[in-house]
C-alpha cells in the first residue's frame, strides 16, 4: 500500500530533490534566483539541466517540453527527446542549460491579437524557475513563460509574475513605514477550489453538443433535479469514489496538495480544493489539475466537464479564488488579529483591497468574462455580475466606527451550545459567511467567487494583484511624506472607508432589489462579456496596468481582441451545433415518432373506421405544430448565423450575437425541449438529462 507521504511530490523536481541532486553551491545560486529573482548564470543552468535530466530519466522520461500558457485558455507543449547522435552511430541522452532556459515554439499559430502576423513565426519560451519542473507520463515538463520575438507577453504567466512583483514592491514600502525591516518580500497566495461534473463516457459520446461545446444545448429537466439537496455532501458512490482516489494519487505525485473532495449541490457535480500556495504555483497547479482530472476520468469511462453551465436548470460550476497576502517571514497581512480596530497595519492592507476592488471592479469582471461564464453568473449557484465585497458584521462595524469617529467595542465571543451535553461546546465566529457575495472576507483572506470553472485563475489574480499594488502605491506616496505618521494613517483609513463604502454589501446578492441598489450606488453591472470587454481599454485601466508595468498597451489591445474573438467563435460554434442537431437528429426523431403514431391511427381505423383516436390526434396536432416551429426557428438561426459570419469587426459581431443569436438559441431550445417531453423516449436521439445527471 502506497503511503501518501512517500508518493507526494515524487514526480516533482522540488526543493528536496534539488538539494539531493545539486551541489550546495549550485543549489544556493538557484535558490537565490527562485527567492530573490537574481539572474541565473548559464554555467549554473547547465549543471541544473544535467541533474534535472538524470532525475527525469530515472522517473522514466524520454522527452522534455517547455510547458506554457498561451492565450488559448489551455496549456501548450512541444515534446523533444533527450537523444543526441554519437560518433559510433548510437545515441546519448543530453539536455543543456540553453535548452532548459529557452525554447522556440511557433508564435504565429497561437492567438496574439495582432502582435504577431502569420508570417512572423518566431516566439520564445523562457524557464520559470519559481515553478518546479515535473514528470508526467514519459516527459519532463518545464514551466515557462511565452513571449513574441519582440518581447511582448503572449501568455498568462508573464503578466502574472509582473503583477506579483508590482504588489511585492509596493507592499514592502508600506511595511517599511510600519518599521518592518525583516521581510524580504511579500507574496500573494491562492487556493483555487475547483467544481466539475462527471458524466458517463458512452452517454457523452452520443451528445454532439457536449462533444463540440462542453455544454448541453438541449435538454428537458427530468422529474427530479437538485430540488431535494440530497446530493450536496452526500455519500460518494463507488464509481465516483474510485475516480477521486485515483485523482488524488496522481495530483499528489505532482506535488498538488489536493485536500478536500465532496459532492456538490447538483447531481453529478463535485468539488476538489487544494491547500493554498504561491499564486504563480497555484495557477500552474490549477491548469495541471484540470488536465489530470480529464485524463483520470477517461480511465474510469467517465468524462470530466469543466464548462461553467453544462446543464440548464441545475447549478453550474465555478472556481473560488481564495486570495491572501503574506510576508516571507510568515505574517499574513490580511489577518485582523484579536483587535482589528487597533491593528493599523491590517486596516491599511484591508483598505488597499477595498479601494482596489471599488476602483477596478470592471477589471475583476473582465477577468472572468467568457461566453460560458455568462451562462452562470447571476444564477442561484453563482454571484451576480455586479462586483461587491462582503466584510461581515465585525469588520463592517469597525469600518463604520472609524468613519463616524466613534469608539468601537468588540463583540464578545459566543459559545455555541447545541442542546445536548454530549456534544462539544466551541467558540462561534463573529462573522457569518456569504456565498452570494462575489468578493467575501473569510477570516484572513478574500474569496473571489466569480471565476468560471474552466477559466485560468491567472487573469483574476493579475488584475487583483495589480489593483491592490496601485492602492498601496498611492498610500505609500502619501505616508512617506507625512509629518505625523499615525495621524496620516488614521486619516487615510477613514478616507478610504468613507470614499469606498459603496462597494461593501453584506446582504443577499441574489435579490433583484440588490441589483437595483447597486446601480444606484454607481457600481458596474456588465451582464455579458461584450458589455464588459471594451472597458479593458478604458484610460484609467490602461494607465494603472502600464504604470505598474504589468502590461504594455499593445498587450492589452491584443487581449481585448483575443477575448472578443473567442466569445464570437464560442457562440457561433454553439449555434452551428444547434442547427446541425436539429436538422440531423431532433427533427428526424420527431417526424419518425409522428409517422409511427399516424400508422397506429391508420391501423386502428382499419378495424373500426369511425374510431376517434383522440389521444393520437391531439398528440399529432400539437407535436406537428411544434415540429413546424422548430423548423422555423432553426432556419431563422441559420440565417442569423450566416449574417454574423459576414460581420468583419469582432465587437460589432459580439453585440449582434448577444442581441440576436443568443435569444434565438434560447427560443429554439425551448421548443425542442418541449418536443422532448412529448416524444417517446426510445425515439429521442440523444441521452436525456435523467441519464446524464444520475447514471454515473
pLDDT in tens, 372-402: 999 998 755 678 889 999 998 888 888 888 8
Task: Check residue 119 and give its pLDDT.
Answer: 61
Most confident of 68-77, 186-195, 600-609: 186-195
Among candidate residues 200, 197, 196, 198, the one with its CA nearest the CA of residue 687: 200
* DSSP three-state, residue 427: strand
Indicate whether 487 pLDDT > 70: yes
Please say if the pLDDT value at position 562 is more than 80.
Answer: yes
Buried b (16+ CB within 10 A) or exposed e, 218-237: bbbbbeebbeeeebeeeeee
Q: How far apart are CA 455 and CA 308, in angstroms?
A: 9
Residue 325: HSE in the Cβ half-sphere, 13 Å Cα cutoff: 32
pLDDT band at 18 (very low <50, low <70, confident <90, very high): very high
Domain boundaries, the chain: 4-155, 163-220+229-412+430-551, 567-694
What pLDDT, on the 0 to 100 scale, is given for residue 411?
58
d(CA 541, CA 225): 43
User: What is the Cα–Cα distance from 86 to 237, expressed in whole angstroms?
Assistant: 55
Secondary structure letter of residue 327 according to DSSP:
E
pLDDT on residue 404: 85
Note the residue count of the chain.
696
- Of the two residues 454 and 431, the one the predictor is more confident about is 454
pLDDT, tens digit, for every residue of 291-349? Answer: 999 999 999 999 999 999 999 999 999 999 999 999 999 999 999 887 776 789 999 99
The pLDDT of residue 423: 54
Distances (CA, A) of 80 to 55, 88, 100, 173: 17, 22, 12, 44
Average pLDDT, integer, range 349-356: 97
Distance from C-alpha of 696 to C-alpha of 263, rounded to nearest angstrom: 13
Residue pair 267/231 in contact by the 8 Å Cβ criterion: yes
Average pLDDT score, the chain: 91
Q: Contact 214/303 with Cβ under 8 angstroms? A: no
End-to-end CA distance of the chain: 27
Q: Which residue has the higher pLDDT, 150 or 173?
A: 173
CATH for 4-155 is 3.10.20.70
pTM of structure:
0.93
What the block records as the C-alpha cell of 650 is: 469582432
The second-level CATH assignment, the architecture, of 567-694 is Up-down Bundle (1.20)
Q: Give the pLDDT score at 393.
A: 84
Q: Convert the pLDDT of each residue in 628-684 to its tens digit.
A: 999 999 999 999 999 999 999 999 999 999 999 999 999 999 999 999 999 999 999
Specify the residue for cell string 487615510. Answer: 492
Kindly state the percentage of the chain with pLDDT values over 90: 74
Question: Which residues are within 8 A (CB) of 257 and not within 5 positions of it... i.e. 6 or more apart?
Answer: 274, 275, 277
Helices 457-479 and 539-547, packing angle to 10 deg: 80
> How does strand 63-67 pair with strand 139-148?
parallel
Residue whose C-alpha is closest to residue 269's, from 456, 453, 74: 453
> What band does 613 get if pLDDT is binned at 50, 70 and 90?
confident
**Partner residues linked to 278 by β-bridges:** 189
Helix, strand, coil: what percent of the chain each, to 5?
A: 50, 15, 35
From the candidate CATH numbers 3.30.590.10, 3.40.50.300, 3.40.220.10, 2.60.40.10, the one assigned to the domain spanning 163-220+229-412+430-551: 3.30.590.10
Query: Do 662 and 571 contact (CB within 8 A), yes or no?
Result: yes
pLDDT band at 84, cuts 50/70/90?
confident
Burial of 308 (0-12, 13-18, 19+ CB in 10 A): buried
Q: Rounded mean pLDDT of 29-54?
A: 88
Rounded CA-CA distance 258/272 in Å is 7
Amino acid at each position: 500500500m502506497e503511503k501518501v507521504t512517500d508518493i507526494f511530490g515524487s514526480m516533482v523536481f522540488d526543493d528536496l530533490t534539488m538539494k539531493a541532486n545539486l551541489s550546495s553551491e549550485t543549489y544556493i545560486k538557484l535558490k537565490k534566483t527562485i527567492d530573490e529573482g537574481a539572474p541565473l548564470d548559464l554555467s549554473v543552468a547547465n549543471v541544473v539541466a544535467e541533474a534535472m535530466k538524470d532525475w527525469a530519466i530515472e522517473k522514466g522520461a524520454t522527452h522534455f517540453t517547455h510547458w506554457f500558457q498561451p492565450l488559448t485558455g489551455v496549456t501548450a507543449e512541444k515534446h523533444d527527446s533527450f537523444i543526441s547522435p554519437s560518433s559510433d552511430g548510437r545515441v546519448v541522452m543530453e539536455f543543456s542549460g540553453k535548452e532548459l532556459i529557452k525554447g522556440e515554439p511557433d508564435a504565429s499559430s497561437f492567438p496574439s491579437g495582432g502582435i504577431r502576423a502569420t508570417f512572423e513565426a518566431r516566439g520564445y519560451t523562457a524557464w520559470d524557475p519559481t515553478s518546479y519542473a515535473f514528470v508526467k507520463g514519459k516527459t519532463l515538463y518545464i514551466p515557462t513563460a511565452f513571449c513574441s520575438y519582440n518581447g511582448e507577453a503572449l501568455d498568462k504567466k508573464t503578466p502574472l509574475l509582473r503583477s506579483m512583483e508590482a504588489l511585492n514592491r509596493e507592499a514592502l514600502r508600506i511595511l517599511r513605514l510600519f518599521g518592518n525591516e525583516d521581510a524580504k518580500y511579500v507574496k500573494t497566495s491562492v487556493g483555487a477550489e475547483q467544481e466539475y461534473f462527471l458524466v458517463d463516457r458512452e452517454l457523452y459520446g452520443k451528445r454532439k453538443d457536449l462533444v463540440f461545446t462542453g455544454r448541453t444545448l438541449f435538454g428537458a429537466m427530468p422529474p427530479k433535479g437538485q430540488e431535494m439537496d440530497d446530493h450536496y455532501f452526500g455519500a460518494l458512490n463507488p464509481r465516483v469514489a474510485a475516480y477521486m482516489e485515483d485523482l488524488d494519487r496522481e495530483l499528489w505525485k505532482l506535488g498538488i496538495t489536493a485536500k478536500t473532495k465532496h459532492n456538490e449541490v447538483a447531481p453529478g457535480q463535485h468539488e476538489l480544493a487544494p491547500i493554498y500556495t504561491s499564486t504563480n504555483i497555484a495557477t500552474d497547479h490549477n491548469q495541471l489539475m484540470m488536465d489530470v482530472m480529464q485524463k483520470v476520468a477517461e480511465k474510469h469511462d467517465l468524462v470530466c466537464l469543466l464548462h461553467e453551465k453544462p446543464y440548464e436548470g441545475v447549478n453550474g460550476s465555478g472556481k473560488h479564488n481564495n486570495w491572501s497576502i503574506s510576508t516571507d517571514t510568515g505574517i499574513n497581512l490580511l489577518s485582523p488579529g484579536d483587535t482589528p480596530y487597533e491593528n493599523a497595519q491590517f486596516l491599511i492592507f484591508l483598505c488597499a483591497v477595498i479601494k482596489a476592488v471599488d476602483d477596478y471592479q470592471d477589471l475583476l469582471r473582465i477577468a472572468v468574462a467568457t461566453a460560458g461564464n455568462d451562462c452562470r453568473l447571476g444564477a442561484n449557484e453563482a454571484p451576480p455580475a455586479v462586483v461587491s465585497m462582503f466584510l461581515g458584521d465585525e469588520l463592517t462595524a469597525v469600518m463604520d466606527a472609524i468613519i463616524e469617529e466613534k469608539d468601537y467595542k468588540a463583540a464578545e465571543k459566543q459559545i455555541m451550545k447545541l442542546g445536548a451535553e454530549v456534544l462539544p461546546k466551541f467558540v462561534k465566529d463573529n462573522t457569518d459567511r456569504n456565498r452570494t457575495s462575489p468578493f467575501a472576507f473569510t477570516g484572513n483572506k478574500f474569496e473571489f467567487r466569480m471565476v468560471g470553472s474552466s477559466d485560468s485563475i491567472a487573469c483574476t489574480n493579475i488584475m487583483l494583484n495589480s489593483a491592490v499594488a496601485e492602492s498601496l502605491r498611492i498610500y505609500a506616496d502619501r505616508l512617506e511624506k507625512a509629518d505625523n505618521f499615525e495621524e496620516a494613517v488614521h486619516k487615510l483609513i477613514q478616507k478610504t472607508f468613507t470614499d469606498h463604502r459603496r462597494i461593501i454589501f453584506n446582504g443577499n446578492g441574489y435579490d433583484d432589489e440588490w441589483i437595483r441598489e447597486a446601480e444606484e450606488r454607481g457600481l458596474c453591472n456588465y451582464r455579458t462579456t461584450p458589455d464588459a470587454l471594451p472597458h479593458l481599454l478604458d484610460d484609467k485601466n490602461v494607465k494603472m496596468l502600464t504604470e505598474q508595468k504589468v502590461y504594455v498597451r499593445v498587450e492589452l489591445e491584443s487581449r481585448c481582441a483575443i477575448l472578443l474573438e473567442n466569445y464570437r467563435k464560442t457562440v457561433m460554434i454553439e449555434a452551428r451545433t444547434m442547427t446541425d442537431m436539429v436538422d440531423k437528429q431532433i427533427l428526424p426523431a420527431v417526424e419518425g415518432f409522428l409517422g409511427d403514431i399516424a400508422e397506429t391511427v391508420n391501423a386502428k381505423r382499419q378495424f373500426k373506421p369511425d374510431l376517434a383516436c383522440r389521444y393520437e390526434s391531439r398528440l399529432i396536432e400539437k407535436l406537428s405544430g411544434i415540429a413546424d416551429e422548430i423548423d422555423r426557428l432553426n432556419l431563422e438561426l441559420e440565417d442569423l448565423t450566416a449574417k454574423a459570419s459576414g460581420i468583419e469587426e469582432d465587437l460589432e459581431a459580439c453585440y449582434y450575437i448577444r442581441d440576436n443569436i443568443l435569444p434565438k438559441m434560447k427560443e429554439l431550445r425551448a421548443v425542442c425541449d418541449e418536443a422532448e417531453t412529448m416524444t417517446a423516449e426510445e425515439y429521442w436521439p440523444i441521452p436525456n438529462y435523467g441519464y446524464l445527471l444520475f447514471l454515473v
